[in-house]
Amino acid sequence: MSKRRPPLPFREITGRSGRRGFELDPAVLNDRTDIISFLRTRRSTEPGAMTGPGPDAADIETMLEIATRVPDHGKMEPWRFIVLQGEGKARFADIVARRWQAIEPATPLTDKRAQVDLFRRIPLVIVVVGRTQPHPKIPEWEQRLSVGAACMNLLLAAQALGHAAQWRSGWTAEDEEIMKALGVRPDQGEFIAGFFFIGSRDPAAPPAEDRRRPFWQDLVTWWSGPPAENGKRDKD
């Protein structure tokens, strides 16, 4: 018989939008005691707090296996993966640097928006490429949802294995020259769903902190039927 889990330690905060939310106590973040504890406390690692080493070959294979184990209506397989590490990642980082200098000549490579430092410093980057196709029964939006599911599974797998990881997008996910360098084909329905930076948490980095999360109770309606025309529910 299932039991309700006790609440986790948190502090309530209000976001800039005025909506209420909460942050978990840093001490409970990324609790890998069991799968439910991990899902309740998962927190990505800021790239600035990442360093080496990266995952070994066995962990990379496991992460990619899990990334493909997602809902996929019609077995469309609307995703593929590009692994950047070692010399290949270094060459790609140089491409990113040259492209940034071409489009933002007045902004230094050290600017956070450039992301050059991330590609050079973090040991593993996995690019998730979505690829939607026309289908008489499976709309594009369903295929894109499957891509998002693959992204989330990849992130969860990396963190569940004990690695530091973050899912990022930014200008590199939309730039035509970057996509061309990676062999991504927008003319064939492909797009970059995200870059996944994966390494280890730097022991010299400040302790991890949570970000504001919504209270799920504020976002759920327990539906019991449509409202009556006067705005009140009909009585049975």
CATH number of the CATH domain containing 130: 3.40.109.10
Candidates 54, 73, 72; CA nearest to 63 is 54
Quote the CA–CA distance of 17 and 22 in Å, as a whole number. Answer: 14
The predicted model scores a pTM of: 0.92
Low-confidence ranges of the chain (pLDDT < 70): 1, 230-236
Question: What are the tokens at 60?
Answer: 């990379």
The pLDDT of residue 15: 83
**Within this chain, do residues 129 and 17 fall inside the same structural domain, yes or no?**
no
The pLDDT of residue 227: 84
**Within this chain, do residues 137 and 171 fall inside the same structural domain, yes or no?**
yes
The pLDDT of residue 236: 47
For residue 129, report the phi and psi dihedrals to the nearest 5 degrees: -110, 120
What is the dihedral sign for C-alpha 129, 134, 136, 140?
positive
Helix, strand, or coil (residue 29) = coil
With a pLDDT cut of 70, the percent of the chain lying above it is 97
- Is 218 inside any structural domain? no
**Within this chain, do residues 137 and 87 fall inside the same structural domain, yes or no?**
yes
How many domains does the chain divide into? Answer: 2
Quote the CA–CA distance of 205 and 46 in Å, as a whole number. Answer: 10
**Within this chain, do residues 159 and 188 fall inside the same structural domain, yes or no?**
yes
Contacts of 17 (CB under 8 A, 6+ apart): none
The pLDDT of residue 233: 55
**Within this chain, do residues 148 and 75 fall inside the same structural domain, yes or no?**
yes
